[in-house]
């Protein structure tokens, strides 16, 4: 019989979610409105220490509203981290604006502040100042926020923080998602906590949050009939999903601990293997370790590659995944501008995300480590001895 499937990152309920959902049913709040939404928003604002939170149907929708809020319009340019999920940049194009992709730096794998600065200077000189800087905290690792905030202030360009993967991460003790003019969180099923699908927009500017809620509910003006003076969207979270979210917020810190424990386990049990490296937390950066990622350097690993590890895990019914393919390499963005030195391209070549769910058992973790070590010992997933250095 095949070993049971180990997922990369699967939902992990805390216990009270189902009760909250039953309560919503009992009161018939089965709608994108209701008391659970307000309670969830209050919990979010409290946890992230911001003045306002809007519970929305996805992180992607939250990014779309954030870009509208900072005034991005057709023909505008937005600086965006290249190494990220496509959902970071897609909303830029919904508005007819253009992403300008920027490479990562090596310490956090996030947008390189020095390149951002050069690009802004170049763009201003050519008469077109970028409208926003879209920063991502990849896999939960906080970006270099001090440098980025200084650039934002110097050139008066707002930061939109894509903290979809970074709920519970902090930089200099402050929560990721609370730095930018607007911050975005995702509650998709694979994230550190989930509402089955959903997202949130966070800000210290109360007016921006109330404007986002207005646009997210079809932009209805104050009138007895349906009156509209703006184009609206249908981006509000369901009260049912918010009921799940209330339960999930109570276990968020525990989930961070559990994901960090996975990372510590991998570090302890794999870092002696030749050519394998883990991303360290630079001083002041606290990662939720949403996903633990390794890089594999084939010139040091006797020829073992990221891909061979991935395929061997897959043969053992264990899901792992290459790092995000940089967006400037994606066919859909092939005409977009890009500035960089190849850091994200190399990470994409060599990087692998290991199963990282907070619900992994010790037995699961041991099983994963055993398979990875066997690849290095020259034994593949089905027990065949492979000539080291020749395969992969």
Task: Report which residue's Cβ sits closest to ligand PLP.
Answer: 59
Tokens of 161: 């923080």
Size of the site for ligand PLP (CB under 6 A): 14
Which range in 52-60, 208-216, 294-302, 369-377 contacts ligand PLP by CB under 6 A? 52-60
Distance CA 325, CA 89 (A): 13
State in angstroms the smallest separation of the CB of 197 from ligand PLP: 7
- DSSP for residue 379: B
Could you say which of 58, 170, 239, 312 contacts ligand PLP (CB under 6 A)? 58
State in angstroms the smallest separation of the CB of 82 from ligand PLP: 12
* Stretch 124-163: interaction string toward ligand PLP, x if CB under 6 A: ------------x-------------------------x-
> Between residues 112 and 162, which has the closer beta carbon with respect to ligand PLP?
162
State in angstroms the smallest separation of the CB of 308 from ligand PLP: 26
Q: Which of 8, 43, 19 is nearest to 189 (CA)?
A: 8
Q: CB count, 10 Å around CB of 22?
A: 11
State in angstroms the smallest separation of the CB of 180 from ligand PLP: 13
Contact 339, 118 (CB under 8 A): yes
State in angstroms the smallest separation of the CB of 328 from ligand PLP: 16
> Between residues 87 and 256, which has the closer beta carbon with respect to ligand PLP?
87
State in angstroms the smallest separation of the CB of 198 from ligand PLP: 7
> Between residues 192 and 276, which has the closer beta carbon with respect to ligand PLP?
192
State in angstroms the smallest separation of the CB of 272 from ligand PLP: 31
- 192 to 211, contacts with ligand PLP by CB under 6 A? 199
- 165 to 184, contacts with ligand PLP by CB under 6 A? 165
245: contact with ligand PLP by CB under 6 A: no
Could you say which of 34, 59, 177, 392 contacts ligand PLP (CB under 6 A)? 59
Q: Let me know how many helices (H) and strands (E) the chain has, helices first.
A: 11, 15
380: contact with ligand PLP by CB under 6 A: no
State in angstroms the smallest separation of the CB of 194 from ligand PLP: 9
With b for 16 or more beta-carbon neighbours within 10 A and e for fewer, the 345-371 pattern comes to bebbbbbbbbbbbbebeeebbebbbeb
* Burial class, 268, CB count within 10 angstroms (exposed 0-12 / middle 13-18 / buried 19+): exposed
Could you say which of 9, 24, 44, 60 contacts ligand PLP (CB under 6 A)? 60
Could you say which of 108, 169, 186, 288 contacts ligand PLP (CB under 6 A)? 186
Distance CA 67, CA 95 (A): 8
288: contact with ligand PLP by CB under 6 A: no
287: contact with ligand PLP by CB under 6 A: no
Collapse the DSSP code of 29 into the 3-class scheme (helix H, G, I; strand E, B; otherwise coil) and give the result: coil
To the nearest 10 degrees (0 to 180), the angle between helices 113-125 and 145-155 is 10
Collapse the DSSP code of 338 into the 3-class scheme (helix H, G, I; strand E, B; otherwise coil) and give the result: strand
Distance CA 302, CA 378 (A): 10
> Between residues 138 and 371, which has the closer beta carbon with respect to ligand PLP?
138
Q: Which of 252, 278, 108 is nearest to 185 (CA)?
A: 252
Could you say which of 70, 80, 87, 368 contacts ligand PLP (CB under 6 A)? 87
Q: Which of 288, 240, 207, 277 is nearest to 9 (CA)?
A: 288
> Between residues 198 and 275, which has the closer beta carbon with respect to ligand PLP?
198
Q: Which of 160, 97, 95, 94 is nearest to 337 (CA)?
A: 97
**Strand 337-339 relative to strand 170-171: parallel, antiparallel, unpaired?**
unpaired
State in angstroms the smallest separation of the CB of 254 from ligand PLP: 21
> Which residues, other chains included, contact 60 with Cβ-Cβ below 8 Å and sequence gap of 6+?
87, 90, 91, 186, 199
Distance CA 99, CA 308 (A): 34
Footprint of ligand PLP (CB under 6 A): 58-60, 84-85, 87-88, 136, 162, 164-165, 186, 188, 199
């Amino acid at each position: 019989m095949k070993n049971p499937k180990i997922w990369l990152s699967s939902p992990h309920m805390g216990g009270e979610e189902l009760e909250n959902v039953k309560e919503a049913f009992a009161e018939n709040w089965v709608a994108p409105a209701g008391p659970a939404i307000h309670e969830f928003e209050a919990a979010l604002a409290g946890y992230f220490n911001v003045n306002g939170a809007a519970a929305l149907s996805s992180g992607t929708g939250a990014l779309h509203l954030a870009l509208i809020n900072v005034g991005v319009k057709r023909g505008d340019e937005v600086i965006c981290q290249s190494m990220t999920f496509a959902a970071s940049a897609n909303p830029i194009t919904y508005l007819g604006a253009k992403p300008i992709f920027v490479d990562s730096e090596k310490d956090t794998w996030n947008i390189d502040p020095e390149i951002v600065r050069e690009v802004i200077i170049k763009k201003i000189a050519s008469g077109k100042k970028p409208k926003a800087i879209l920063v991502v905290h990849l896999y939960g690792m906080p970006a270099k926020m001090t440098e980025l905030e200084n650039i934002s202030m110097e050139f008066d360009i707002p930061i939109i923080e894509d903290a979809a993967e970074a709920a519970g991460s902090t930089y200099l003790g402050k929560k990721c998602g609370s730095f930018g003019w607007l911050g975005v969180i995702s509650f998709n099923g694979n994230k550190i906590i989930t509402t089955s699908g959903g997202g949130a927009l966070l800000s210290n500017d109360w007016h921006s949050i109330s404007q986002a809620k207005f646009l997210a509910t079809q932009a209805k003006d104050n009138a007895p009939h349906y009156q509209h003076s703006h184009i609206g969207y249908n981006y509000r979270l369901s009260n049912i999903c918010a009921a799940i979210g209330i339960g999930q917020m109570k276990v968020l810190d525990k989930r961070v601990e559990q994901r960090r424990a996975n990372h510590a386990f991998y570090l302890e049990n794999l870092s002696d293997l030749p050519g394998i490296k883990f991303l360290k937390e630079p001083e002041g950066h606290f990662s939720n370790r949403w996903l633990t990622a390794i890089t594999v350097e084939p010139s040091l690993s006797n020829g073992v590659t990221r891909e061979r590890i991935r395929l061997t895990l897959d043969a053992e019914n264990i899901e792992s995944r290459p790092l995000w393919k940089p967006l400037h390499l994606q066919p859909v963005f092939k005409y977009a501008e890009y500035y960089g030195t190849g850091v994200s391209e190399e990470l994409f070549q060599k990087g692998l995300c290991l199963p990282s769910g907070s619900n992994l058992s010790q037995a699961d973790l041991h099983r994963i480590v055993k398979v990875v070590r066997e690849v290095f010992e020259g034994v593949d997933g089905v027990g065949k001895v492979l000539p080291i250095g020749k395969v992969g």
